[in-house]
Structure 1
Amino acid sequence: MENIVLLKLPIDISTFRKMRKSGYLYVDKTKYAYDLITGGNRYFLSRPRRFGKSLFVSTLREILHGNKELFEGLWIHNSDYNWEKYGVIEFDLSSLGIDSTETFKTGLCHALGEVVQDYSLEVEISTTNPELALRDVVKELYNRFGRVAILVDEYDNPILQVLKDANQAEEIRNATRRFFAAIKGMDAFIDFVFITGVSAFARAGLFSGINNLLDITLDNAYSNICGYTNEEVDSYFSDYIKEWCNLENISYDDLRLQIKTWYNGYTFGSNLFSVYNPFSFMNALRARSFKNFWFQSGTPNFLVEELKKEYRKEEYRIIDPEKFETTEESLGIFEVRATPLPSLMFQTGYLTIKNFDKGKKLYRLGYPNYEVKTALQTHLLGIFTQLDFISAERISLQLRAALIAGNIDEVITLIKQLFTNVPYQLHMKEEKFYHALLQVTFGAAGIKSQSEYSMSHGRIDLLLELPNVLYVIEIKLNSSVDVALDQVDQRHYYESLLVYGKPITLLGLSFKREPKNFDLTYKVKYINNSQEK
């Protein structure tokens, strides 16, 4: 078979020029850049971390600089774009070391000083007042080019870095608002503005100073602006996937299905077009293995701190992320002191849009894919049980092994070990709390589960599907375990599951929780199983 020379995978490469000059693969997103620039507007885009925002900003920069030679073979090179040069001011607020209003001001002034040097502008700018410095630089660039563009990448990074100190975060947010208001003051000289970030402070009025700022975060026309579509995966990466297939002796279709299950599923619009997480997908191609690459690359510190805050307890008690419903306006909420859990988890990439009700204008959220579901539920399990991530992951994997082996005593021992660590204050005197916590536990173990599985004659609390067995689980609180098992047994909840052709284990669980005592009892019955009783 002919050897194919593959371009390098651009893992952690966010500089367009480097990708084009150094033999890296680039997935063509220049049609989106063309539409934005020729639209002549001011835009805001929110996407999770490591999703390609910085690369897109870098692409915009090279187009605005008029560097047509870098785009040979790409969509925009063959378009009617005029390649007129702009004076470009770019800020990457994640690279300025900002941790206070003082460093915010000096950092922006330093970035503007670099623009002065890059263009050899004959102007002295303030080193302490970024609004004055911006005014002077914009005017000089306008006088030279007649067109000025401002690109701001990771605008919210300085705020998020100090979010645990709400007062300091609000001070930096206010400083950011003043700086963006200065952009409004130069509106007559600025032709194009593009701002990216993880959070959507825009909804809170942070960008109120910028005229006509268009939020394209959930705009169907730009839902695929970052990340890779199924078509792009097959068009650009098929040779990489084929090499992986040859190594594992697996069919292309089978491997593609696994890749899709692990890394596809992010949706940023009511059209429900899904994209792959580019960071995880390319890392999987490189390593030729499936892992939680995105989660392991670092959960945002501000998210970890938020999930631990006292006021989150009420939200955790009823948490079932795959049942969150919210409006587009709510998805855009991000406040320094309190952000709704669905909004927080959507903006950070741990939940995504799964469905859209056109009549009610409601988005239903859920986990985007297997990678995020297992990693996040392990993380939530750790928060619930006050265990570190590694310990929670270890116990959840032991639980999976025990379920596959049919070792119910071990299953109950592990569940007790986890749930005993849950602070009494978090416990709710309702079955739904234990239901939700069990679902998080099984999700962390990578077990396919269905909550409140409906049938013609009833509803199963939890249905677990493992390679060799199905578990039908009924949950009771402060009630006899016999009642739990009798409900699934005598009502024949399992009969519709016989078509799976797998052994079925009926498991009744009864939880009891008092201030100084926690107990879990169980009763089991086997159907179509060598252990059937």
Structure 2
Amino acid sequence: MKKKKLPIGIDDFKKIIELNYYYVDKTLFIQDVLEKRAEVTLLTRPRRFGKTLNISTLKYFLDIKGAIENRNLFKGTKIEETDYMEYQGKYPVIYLTMKDLDGEDFESFFEAFKTLISSLFETHKYLREKLDERNLLFFDKIWFQEEKANYDTALKFLSQLLYDYYGVKPVILIDEYDSPFIIANEKRYYEKVKTLLGRFYGSALKEGIISFSVVTGILRIAKESIFSTLNNLKVSTILTGDYNYFGMTEIEVEDILKYYDLETTLGDIEKWYNGYLFGDLKVYNPWSILYHCSSGELKAFWINTSANLLIKEILREADREIFNIFHTLLKDGSVKTTLQENMIFGMRYSDSTLLYLMFSAGYLTIDRKGEEKNQYFLTIPNYEVKEYFKDTFMEIVSPRNYGKFTDLIVALRDGNVTGIDSVEELLQTMFEASMSYMDGSTEEKFYHNLILGMMICTDSYFYPLSNRESGYGRYDIALEPKDITKIGYIFEFKIADNFNDMDKVGSEALKQIADKKYRTDMENRGIKDIREIALVFCKKSLRFYVK
């Protein structure tokens, strides 16, 4: 039997149905929207978890234009079995996606914005036939992208025209409303975009003639005029547990794997692409599932580009605590934070802001709830995201070292501890480069985490372990080889008060490794070749001691 094509990168419902792509039926999303209908519904979910496809599905269902033709798209779907089919084709619809709106500066952004709104008016140019001279002039100024057109109220104007034409209040659907804010913040023209889009969204959603509106994005942006005075705003986030039609459920993943003869990969699929908690529902990353079904490979497919820029910006400006948080997460731990579910641009970002952003963007998920209100423990959801974490950590924290991590892995694997291109030489070089990024410290924990960050990249050959009990104490870091016939490492860190004491402190560290028998656990696992190394730090200096 010939298999259906996979809709990779296709988020237009009509195209998926008419061209017979594989479709995971999420049409009951329409029922949810109509049942819970609010003046404005804001749905925040990570990128590429189905927001655009769901909004597209809603558009084709509701739109009065092409209603008879569009009705055929829903034959055999779940929504067809409900009473809500009576709403099919009953509303004029304004559909707008903001996800590709960009610009290096505000002037280029505004030109792209004018083009976008002109295209929207092009879609509804049939309205011109019933316009009076005044409204026709306003319409054409926007349509032809004239400089002095009223772009900031264009959405409100269009909704009024649709109501006048059909006698039915329109529905406004806005996809990825927050993407321009994220881009503008990164490129330093946020305030201008805030003014423009705050008026553009707000005038239509607060003052315009509409039946209702559905808005999607990654973040709920705080203190924006779009939301500040809405009386009937319903917000659904990852935490709320409603509108559960984003991502793929366990059953949906099992079905698609079975269809493409990939059932045997289910266990690995769960480790790589599952782990997201939307309310109480665990879901898989649909983007990665589709790519896996296409290639059969297990690797990182998903890149959440619009949030990456902001995450990296915050990391570059982060304090030392974020540095420690990253290590905890990369060690498969969880970190405690308060999720306020609001993003405020134009301020110094706190640790909780970064964690909220990464959570909203899909890089973290809930491990468990804390004891206080809005308190949660967050963790990395799966292998795919962990790969992103490792790369981002190394790129941001050690930008000058990014190309040296592969060399370090080779040196450790081959047991090249001292000499040219050795573990000693590479760690020295990487440490010095990193210390130009971070100030020196008097805390062992800082140096410990810096070196541990460099060791995270070795997990293809080693198990990087930190602060584990072995023998009569706790070693600082151990690299336990996955192949027990290979070399293992134990590292002990010490801080010297001055440079003259570094050799003495190094000897004491090596003696501690021996006296505490830190090698016991590895020896019990059958690892025979174990290298013992002391690293002594003094401000921005590092010395390397080997037994």
Separation in 2 of the partners of 1:511 and 1:361?
41
Aligned residue for 2:95, secondary structure, equals strand
**2:230 aligned partner:** 210
Deviation digits for residues 195-234 of structure 1, max 9, x if unmatched?
1223331466652243322221124434753222222211
Residue range with higher mean Cα deviation, 431-440 or 123-132: 123-132
Separation in 2 of the partners of 1:363 and 1:495?
37
2:397 pairs with 1:384? yes
Query: So what's the TM-score if we normalise by structure 1?
Result: 0.81
**2:342 aligned partner:** 332
On the 8 A contact 1:319/1:436 being kept in 2, the answer is: no
Residue range with higher mean Cα deviation, 52-61 or 311-320: 311-320
On the 8 A contact 1:229/1:275 being kept in 2, the answer is: yes
**1:512 aligned partner:** 537
Q: After TM superposition, list the pairs within 5 Å mapping 1:407-422 onto structure 2.
A: 407-409=416-418, 410-422=422-434
**Cα shift at 1:29:** 1.8
**1:92 aligned partner:** 97
Deviation digits for residues 59-81 of structure 1, max 9, x if unmatched?
12112225332122322121221
Distance 1:328-1:175 versus aligned 2 partners, 3 A rule: same
Separation in 2 of the partners of 1:80 and 1:497?
65
Separation in 1 of the partners of 2:298 and 2:457?
16
2:215 pairs with 1:183? no
On the 8 A contact 1:472/1:504 being kept in 2, the answer is: no
Q: After TM superposition, list the pairs within 5 Å mapping 1:129-208 onto structure 2.
A: 129-143=150-164, 144=166, 146-166=168-188, 168-186=189-207, 189-202=209-222, 206-208=226-228
2:87 pairs with 1:75? no
On the 8 A contact 2:98/2:175 being kept in 1, the answer is: yes
Aligned residue for 2:96, secondary structure, equals strand
On the 8 A contact 2:96/2:173 being kept in 1, the answer is: yes
On the 8 A contact 1:97/1:103 being kept in 2, the answer is: no
2:386 pairs with 1:373? yes
**Cα shift at 1:120:** 6.4
Aligned residue for 1:28, secondary structure, equals coil
Counterpart among 118, 130, 146 of residue 122 in structure 1: 130
Q: Is there any run of 5+ residues in structure 2 with no aligned partner, and where? A: 143-148, 497-501
Q: After TM superposition, list the pairs within 5 Å mapping 1:360-509 onto structure 2.
A: 361-387=374-400, 392=402, 394-409=403-418, 410-424=422-436, 426-429=438-441, 430-447=443-460, 448-453=463-468, 459-469=474-484, 471-478=489-496, 480-487=505-512, 489-492=514-517, 495=520, 500=525, 505=530, 507-509=532-534
| Number of residue pairs matched by the alignment | 498
Residue range with higher mean Cα deviation, 500-509 or 4-13: 500-509
Distance 1:507-1:184 versus aligned 2 partners, 3 A rule: same
On the 8 A contact 1:91/1:152 being kept in 2, the answer is: yes
**2:276 aligned partner:** 266
Separation in 2 of the partners of 1:460 and 1:238?
47
Aligned residue for 1:343, secondary structure, equals helix
Deviation digits for residues 362-418 of structure 1, max 9, x if unmatched?
12222222222223322221222223xxx72x5333433444444444333333332
Query: So what's the TM-score if we normalise by structure 2?
Result: 0.80
Separation in 2 of the partners of 1:455 and 1:296?
40
On the 8 A contact 2:336/2:370 being kept in 1, the answer is: no
Deviation digits for residues 135-156 of structure 1, max 9, x if unmatched?
3322333341524211111212
On the 8 A contact 1:374/1:444 being kept in 2, the answer is: no
Distance 1:207-1:489 versus aligned 2 partners, 3 A rule: farther
Aligned residue for 2:542, secondary structure, equals strand
On the 8 A contact 1:28/1:75 being kept in 2, the answer is: yes
2:318 pairs with 1:312? yes
Deviation digits for residues 265-294 of structure 1, max 9, x if unmatched?
23343x3x4322222332233222233322
On the 8 A contact 2:185/2:346 being kept in 1, the answer is: yes
Distance 1:414-1:240 versus aligned 2 partners, 3 A rule: farther
Deviation digits for residues 95-140 of structure 1, max 9, x if unmatched?
4556537447635642541342266663334522235433332233
Aligned residue for 2:434, secondary structure, equals coil
Deviation digits for residues 334-361 of structure 1, max 9, x if unmatched?
4134333223333333333332225554
Aligned residue for 2:362, secondary structure, equals coil
On the 8 A contact 1:263/1:369 being kept in 2, the answer is: yes
Aligned residue for 1:291, secondary structure, equals coil
**2:11 aligned partner:** 14
Separation in 2 of the partners of 1:344 and 1:114?
36
On the 8 A contact 2:276/2:284 being kept in 1, the answer is: yes
Q: Is there any run of 5+ residues in structure 1 with no aligned partner, and where? A: 243-251, 525-533
Q: Output the amino acid matched with 2:345.
A: E
2:270 pairs with 1:227? no
Separation in 2 of the partners of 1:200 and 1:360?
19
**1:58 aligned partner:** 56
Distance 1:454-1:49 versus aligned 2 partners, 3 A rule: farther
On the 8 A contact 1:87/1:145 being kept in 2, the answer is: no
Q: Output the amino acid matched with 2:249.
A: T
Distance 1:96-1:413 versus aligned 2 partners, 3 A rule: closer
Q: Output the amino acid matched with 2:289.
A: F
On the 8 A contact 1:121/1:140 being kept in 2, the answer is: no
**Cα shift at 1:173:** 1.2
**2:146 aligned partner:** none
Larger Rg: 2
Deviation digits for residues 462-507 of structure 1, max 9, x if unmatched?
4545421465543333362344445455445565667755558464
Aligned residue for 2:174, secondary structure, equals strand
Aligned residue for 2:199, secondary structure, equals helix
**Cα shift at 1:86:** 1.3
Q: After TM superposition, list the pairs within 5 Å mapping 1:274-289 onto structure 2.
A: 274-289=282-297
**1:248 aligned partner:** none
Q: Output the amino acid matched with 1:93.
A: M
Q: Output the amino acid matched with 2:409.
A: R
